[in-house]
Chains A and B, each alone.
Chain A
Amino acid sequence: MSGILVQGVQMLLVLLLAPLLTGFVRKMKARLVRRQGASVFQPYLDLLRLLRKEVVLADNASWLFRVTPYVTFAAIWVAAALVPTFATGLLFNWTADLIAIVALLGSARFFLALAGMDVGTSFGGIGASREVMIAALAEPAMLLVVFCVALVAGSTQLSTVANFMASSYVGLRVSLGMAVIALIMVALAENARIPVDNPATHLELTMVHEAMVLEYSGRHLAMIEFGAFLKLLLYISLIACVFLPWKIAVFGTGPLSYAIGAVAYLVKLAAAGFFLALFETATAKMRVFRVPQFLGAALMLGLLGTLLLFVSKSF
C-alpha cells in the first residue's frame, strides 16, 4: 500500500517541483549577476500564460507535430516518475530500469527532433540535426555511466542501486568519481545548458534545442517547456539518488524518515540548482563543434570507469 502512496506522491511531486527548480535556477543566475530576476514562481505563470494562448500552427504541420508535445511530455514524465527522489522503493521501479529510463528520454528526443523537421524550415532542421549529433555522443556516454553504476551496485534497478548506495559503505571509488563527472557533463548537454547550449537565447544561429521547437506555440509549447523542466529535475534527482543518497528514505522505514528524506531532497535540489547557476554564470557557451570534444571526454570517462570495474570490482 505504501508503495502506491510513495509512487503517487512521487509522480505529483516531480510535476509540482519541476517549474520551481527552473525558476530557482533562473533567480540564482540573475542574483549572481546582480540583477533582481523574476520570481521563482515565474515558470508556473509562464506555463499558465502559454496554456491560455491560441496555437498558431504552420500550414503544412502534420499530425505528428501536434502529437509530439504530448508524447515527449509523457515519456519524460514516466521516466521522471521512476527516478527515486526522496524515497526508494517506488512501486513501479521494476518496470523500467536505468537503461530503459535512458531510452525513454531517447524516445522523447526522437519525436522532438522529428517535429523539428516537420514544418520544413531551416531552423527546425538545424536544431534537429545538431540535437541528434549531441545525442549521438551523450546517449552512449550516459549508458556507460549506467554500466559503471550497475557494475558497482550489481543491478540496473534504480531502487536497488539507491538502496545499495545509501545503506552499505560504498566508499570513495575511482570509477564512481569518473561516472559522476561524466554524468554531470551529459546532464548539461541533455538539458541544453551552458556550455553546450544556451536556454536563454532565442535568436542565435548557435542554438540547438530552442531552434528545434521554434515553430511551437500556445499549449503545445507549454507541454514542451514543461517536459524540459521535468528533464532537468530528473537529471538532478538521478545524480542525487545515485551519487548523493544522503538521508534518502529507504523503503519500509517510518514516516519520520520520509519527512527527513523530503527535506533532504529539497536541500539537494537547491544546492544543485545553485551550483548549476554558478557554473552557467562562470562559463561561456562553446562553439557547436567544440561540443563533441566535451561529450567525447564524458564518453571516455564513462568507458574508463567501466573498464576499471571490469578489471577489478574494488575500483
Chain B
Amino acid sequence: MSAVVLQMLCVAGMLGSAVLAIVLSRSTIATAIIYSATLAASAIALIGSIHWLLGDTTNATDLTLPIGLPWLGAHFRLDGLASFFLVVVNLGGTSASLYGLGYGHHEEAPQRVLPFFPAFLAGMNLVVLAGDAFSYLLCWEFMSLASWALVMAHHREPGNAKAGYVYLVMASFGTLALLLAFGLLAGPAGDYEFAAIRAAQHTPYVATLVLILMLLGAGSKAGLVPLHVWLPLAHPAAPSHVSALMSGVMTKVAIYGFIRVVFDLLGQPSWWASVIVLSLGGITAVMGILYAMMEKDLKRLLAYSTIENIGVIFASLGLALAFQANGLKLLAALAFAAALFHVLNHSFFKSLLFFGAGAVLIATGERDMDKLGGLIHRMPFTSFAVLVGCVSISALPPFNGFVSEWLMFQAVLQSPELPQWALKITVPAVGALLALAAALAAACFVKAYGVTFLGRPRSVAAETAEEVDHYSLSAMFILAALCLLAGILPGLVIDALSPITLQILGGRMPIQINEPWLSIVPIAESRSSYNGLLVMVFIAISASFAVVFIHRFASHALRRGPAWGCGFSDPTPAAQYSGGSFAQPIRRVFGTLVFHARDHVEMPAPGDIRPARLRIESHDLIWEGMYEPIAGVVGFAADKLNRLQFLTIRRYLSLVFATLVTLLLVLAIWS
C-alpha cells in the first residue's frame, strides 16, 4: 500500500468517526468511542508520516480520486514537505485526542464538539495532502468551517458569538485571497494541478501579487499582525484541546500553505519580497508578545503568544527567501530549517500549554489569572508539565525552544553576505526585534506561570482545585518529554528536515548525526556549535554537586513559618502581585507607545471615605484604527444600499437593464 493511500485511509477513519459521532450523539459512551477512534486514526497517520519522512522522500506518491471538478479530479500527494506537516498535524491530533479522552467528559454539550473534532483533524490532514488548487481550497474551507463550529461549541458564553462572527469574516477574507492567488497561479489555461503550476513560468508581476495574496490569505489564518484580530478571540473560545489544535496545528497548516505556494510553486520571488516577510514577521513577534503580556485571561495570553511564534517563524522564512533569492543555498537551508524546527517546537509547547490551561479550567472553572494562584500545591503534576512548557517557550536551554531561536540567530549572523542594502538594514533590525520578543516571552511566561500556579490562591475555586485525570496528564507529559528530547537531540530533528530543504531549496545543512557528542553545527565548528545534551548534563552535574556539597557540609535544619515579607505579612491573598500589577513595569515601558496605555489614579480628598481607585486605560490601536473604520464604512454602505431592498419590480428590471448596458459598454470600450 502506498504511503498516501495509508494517510487517506486514516483521514477516512476520522471522517467516519465524525459521522459516527452524529449517530451516537446522545449516547453516554460517545466521548470515549470518538476520541479513541480519532486517537487510533491520527496515531497511525503519525507513524506512517514519520516512517515516510525518515525513509526515502525523493519519490513522492500520488493519488487521484474521481471527485471534484470533472476534468481535474482530486489530486492528493505526499512529498517531504507534506509529510513533515502531517507529522505536526497528527502529533497534535494524537495528543489532543488522548487529552480529550479525559477532558471530553467535562463537556456539557458533547454533541456540539464530537462530530466536528475528527472532521477538523481530517480537514487539516487533507489540506496538507492536497495536490491541486481546487481540492486545496475545498479542504481549507472544510477545515475553517469545522474549526468555526468548534469555536461556537460554547455559543452561550459571553463573547463567543462575537468570536465566531469575527472568525468567519476573517476566514472568508483569507479564503478569498487564496482563491485569487491560485487563480493567478493557474493562469488563463486554468490548470489547477500543483505539478502544472510548478512547471509554468510566472511573470514577476504575477509572482508579486501571489506573494502578497498569500501573505493575506495564509497570514490571516496564521495570525500575522495586523490580520490577527480573530485569533485571540476564537482560539480561547473553543474547548481547550481544540484550542491546542487551532493554535498549535492549524496556524502551522497556514504556514504550510505559504511555504507550498511561495517556496515551491512560485519559483523564485525577487529579493525584496523577503523584506516584506521579514518585517511583518519581526513586527508580529513583538506585537504578539506585548499583547500577551497585557492579558490576564490565561487562554487568551496563550493565543497572543501564538501570534508571537508565528512572527518568529515568518521572520525566519523571510530570511530563507532572502538567501534563496541571492543563491546562498546553504544559508537558505539553515534559515528554512530553523523555521521548520520552530514549527515543530511550537506545536509541542503550545499544545502542552493549552492542555495545561484546560486542566486549570477543569479544576477551577477559571481562565482569569487574577482569580487563580497556588495551584502548584494542589495540581503538582499539571504544574510540573506546564513549567516545562513555559521554560521551552521562553527559549531557555536545554529545552527545544532555544534550539530553534539559536539556529535563527545563527542565520541572522550570516546575513551580512546579502548584497542588497535594504536587507542589510532590515535583517539586523529584525534580529533585534526577535531578541526583544524572546526576552519579552520569558517575562510573559514568568507572569503566566507565577500568577496562575505560584503564590497564594486568590479564590475559593483555586483553593479547592484538584489534580486532573490520567489521560490529560499523560498527554501533557508526552509533550513535555518531547520538548526536552527535541532540545537535547536537535541534530536528529535537523537531519530529518534536510530532505525537505533539499526538495524545496536545493540545499541542505551539513549532516549532524556524525558530530561528536550529538552537537549541532550549522555551518562550521569554528563558527558556532551547540550541544543541548551536554548543557543539560552539565547543569545536572553542577546542581547535584551543589546539592551533595550542601547536604554534606551545611546545616540541615529547616523550619516552616509564616512568610517574612519584611515583617509585614499581607492580610489577604488579593494583596499579592496580580497579572496586571506584574505587567505594570512593562506596560509603562512599552505600553505607552504601543497601546496608548495610561494609568489614572482617582484619589479622594482627605476626609472623604471613598476608596482610591486606579484605572488603566489601554487601546488596541489596530482594532480601533483599522477594523472599526472598515466596519463603519461597511455599515454605512449597507445602510445606504438597504433602500434597494424595497423597490418595485419595474425598478428592479430597469436596474438590471442598466447594469447590463453598462457592462456591455465597458466591454466594448475595453476591447
CB-defined interface of B394-418 with A at 8 Å, one 1/0 digit per residue? 1111000010001001101101100
Whether B442 pairs with A132 at a CB distance below 8 angstroms is yes
- Give the interface segment out of A23-31, A88-96, A247-255: A88-96
| Contact yes or no, B531 A74, CB < 8 A | no
B538-574 interface (Cβ within 8 A of A):
538-540, 542-543, 546-547, 550, 553-555, 557-566, 569-570, 573
Decide: B561 and A137 in contact? CB cutoff 8 A: no
Separation of A140 and B409 alpha carbons in the complex (Å): 12
Instruction: Give every chain A residue within 8 A of B373 (Cβ-Cβ).
Output: 120
Give the CA-CA distance A106 to B447 in the complex, in Å.
15
A51 touching B586 by the CB < 8 A rule?
no
| B614 contacts the other chain (CB 8 A) | no
Asked if A283 lies at the interface with its beta carbon under 8 angstroms from chain B, I say no
Q: A137 contacts B577, CB within 8 Å?
A: no
Q: Is A276 at the interface (CB under 8 A from chain B)? A: no
Which residues of chain B are near A92, meaning CB under 8 Å? 534, 538
Output the nearest chain A residue to B416 by Cβ-Cβ distance.
A310
Contacts A104-B535, A114-B446; A147 near B564 (Cβ below 8 A): no
Q: Could you tell me the distance in whole angstroms from the C-beta of B583 to the nearest C-beta in chain A?
A: 7
Report which residue of A74, A139, A289 has the largest number of chain B beta carbons within 10 angstroms of its beta carbon: A74
Does A173 lie at the interface of the complex (its beta carbon under 8 Å from any beta carbon of B)? no
Residues of B within 8 A of A104 (CB): 397, 535
Binds B, one of A122-130, A191-199, A232-240, A266-274: A122-130
Tell me which residues across on chain A come within 8 A of B424, comparing CB atoms: 310-311
* Complex contact B560–A289 (CB within 8 A): no
Per-position binary interface string of chain A over residues 147-167, scored 1 when its CB falls under 8 Å from any chain B CB and 0 otherwise: 100110011110010000000
The answer to whether A113 and B530 touch (CB under 8 A), given A120-B456, A223-B546, is no
B454 in the interface (beta carbon within 8 A): yes
Nearest-neighbor residue (CB-CB) of B437 within chain A: A140
Q: Quick check: B443 and A133 within 8 Å, CB to CB?
A: yes
Nearest Cβ distance between residue A134 and chain B, in whole angstroms?
Answer: 8
CB interface residues, B 572-605, toward A, < 8 Å:
573, 575-577, 581-586, 588-589
Interface positions of B from 376 to 432, Cβ below 8 Å from A: 376-377, 380, 387, 391, 394-397, 402, 406, 409-410, 412-413, 415-416, 424-425, 427-429, 431-432
CB neighbours (8 Å) of A70 from chain B are: 543, 546-547, 550
Q: Are A122 and B565 in contact (CB under 8 A)?
A: yes
- Separation in Å of the B470 CB from the closest CB of chain A? 21
Which one of B406, B530, B585 contacts A133 once the chains associate, using CB atoms below 8 Å? B585
Which residues of the other chain, A, contact B415 by a CB distance below 8 angstroms?
A: 310
Q: Are A125 and B432 in contact (CB under 8 A)?
A: no
Residues on B with beta carbons closer than 8 Å to the beta carbon of A135: 439, 442-443
Whether the Cβ atoms of A100 and B577 lie closer than 8 Å is no
Is A297 engaged at the interface, CB distance under 8 Å to the other chain?
Answer: no
| Chain B window 427-458, contacts with chain A (Cβ cutoff 8 Å), 1 for yes, 0 for no | 11101100110111011001101110011100
**How many contacting A-B pairs (Cβ < 8 A)?**
286
Interface string of B501-523 (1 = CB under 8 A from A): 00000000000000001010000
Does A299 lie at the interface of the complex (its beta carbon under 8 Å from any beta carbon of B)? yes
Whole-angstrom distance between the alpha carbons of A59 and B271 in the complex?
60
| CB of A233, distance to nearest CB on chain B (Å) | 15
* A100–B542 CB distance below 8 A: no
Q: Is the CB of A95 within 8 A of B519?
A: yes
Specify which of B455, B540, B542, B543 is in contact with A118 (CB 8 Å cutoff): B455
In the complex the two chains form, is B454's CB within 8 Å of A54's CB?
Answer: no
Our pick among A77, A99, A119, A154 for the contact of B542 (Cβ within 8 Å) is: A77
Least CB distance, A166 to chain B, in whole angstroms: 15
Given A139-B435, A147-B428, A103 and B413 contact (CB-CB distance below 8 Å): no
Q: A41 to B436: give the CA distance in the assembly, Å.
A: 39
A313's contact among B416, B535, B562, by CB below 8 Å, is which?
B416
Of B380, B395, B558, B586, which is within 8 A of A57 by CB?
B558
User: Which chain B positions have C-beta within 8 A of A144?
Assistant: 431-432, 435
Smallest Cβ-Cβ distance to A307: which chain B residue: B428
Complex formed: what's the CA distance from A57 to B406 in Å?
38
- A157-B528 CB under 8 A given contacts A110-B396, A121-B563, A129-B581: yes
Nearest B residue to A65 by beta-carbon distance? B454
Decide yes or no whether A37 CB sits under 8 A from chain B: no
Give Cα A97 to B557, complex, Å: 39
Interface assignment of B642: CB less than 8 Å from any CB of chain A:
no
Contacts A110-B396, A122-B577, A311-B424; A51 near B550 (Cβ below 8 A): yes
Residues in B neighbouring A309, C-beta threshold 8 A: 416
Pairwise interchain contact B535-A78, C-beta atoms closer than 8 A: yes
Q: Would you give the shortest CB distance from A290 to chain B, in whole angstroms?
A: 11
Q: Is the CB of A55 within 8 A of B397?
A: no
A residues less than 8 Å from B557 (CB atoms): 53-55, 218
Contact among A75, A119, A150, A302 with B455 in the assembled complex (CB-CB below 8 Å): A119
Given A74-B539, A299-B432, A123 and B566 contact (CB-CB distance below 8 Å): yes
For the residues of B in contact with A, the DSSP-based class is: helix
Q: Give the docked Cα–Cα distance between A37 and B575 (Å).
A: 39
Interface string of A271-315 (1 = CB under 8 A from B): 000000000000000001100100000010011001101110100
**B565 x A123 contact (CB < 8 A):** yes
Q: How far is the CA of A81 from the CA of B537 in the complex (A)?
A: 14
Given contacts A55-B557, A99-B406, contact A137 B570 (CB under 8 A): no
The complex places the Cα of A30 from the Cα of B259 at a distance, in Å, of 62
A292 partner residues in chain B, CB cutoff 8 A:
589
Q: Which chain A residues lie closer than 8 Å to B546 at the CB level?
A: 70, 73-74, 77, 223
Residue of B nearest to A157 (CB): B528
- Cβ A140 vs Cβ B432 within 8 A: yes
Residue A13 at the chain B interface, CB threshold 8 Å? no
**In the bound complex, do residue B387 and residue A136 qualify as a contact, i.e. CB atoms below 8 Å apart?**
no
Contact with B along A97-118 (1 / 0, CB 8 A): 1011001101101100110111
Name the residue on A nearest B537 (C-beta). Answer: A95
The chain A residue with its CB closest to the CB of B445 is: A110
**In this assembly, does A62 line the interface, its C-beta being within 8 Å of a C-beta of chain B?**
yes
Q: How far is the CB of A237 from chain B (nearest CB, A)?
A: 17
Q: Are A52 and B554 in contact (CB under 8 A)?
A: yes
Docked CA distance A180–B447 (Å): 32
A window 11-34: CB within 8 A of B? none
Q: Chain B residue with minimal CB distance to A126?
A: B577
Instruction: Please name the residue on chain A nearest to B418 by beta carbon.
Output: A310
Q: When the two chains form their complex, are residues A120 and B439 in contact, meaning their CB atoms are under 8 A apart?
A: no
- Indicate whether A143 reaches chain B with its CB closer than 8 angstroms: yes
28 interchain pairs, CB-CB under 8 A: A54-B559, A55-B555, A57-B561, A59-B560, A59-B562, A62-B454, A71-B539, A73-B543, A74-B539, A74-B543, A78-B539, A99-B528, A106-B396, A109-B442, A114-B449, A120-B373, A121-B576, A122-B570, A125-B582, A139-B439, A147-B428, A156-B527, A157-B527, A203-B566, A215-B564, A306-B432, A307-B425, A310-B424
- Further 14 A-B residue pairs, CB within 8 A, beyond A215-B563, A303-B428: A58-B560, A70-B547, A100-B397, A104-B535, A113-B446, A121-B564, A121-B569, A136-B440, A147-B409, A219-B554, A223-B546, A223-B550, A302-B432, A307-B428
A-B pairs with the 9 shortest C-beta distances?
A125-B577, A54-B557, A120-B455, A117-B450, A133-B585, A74-B543, A140-B435, A132-B443, A120-B456
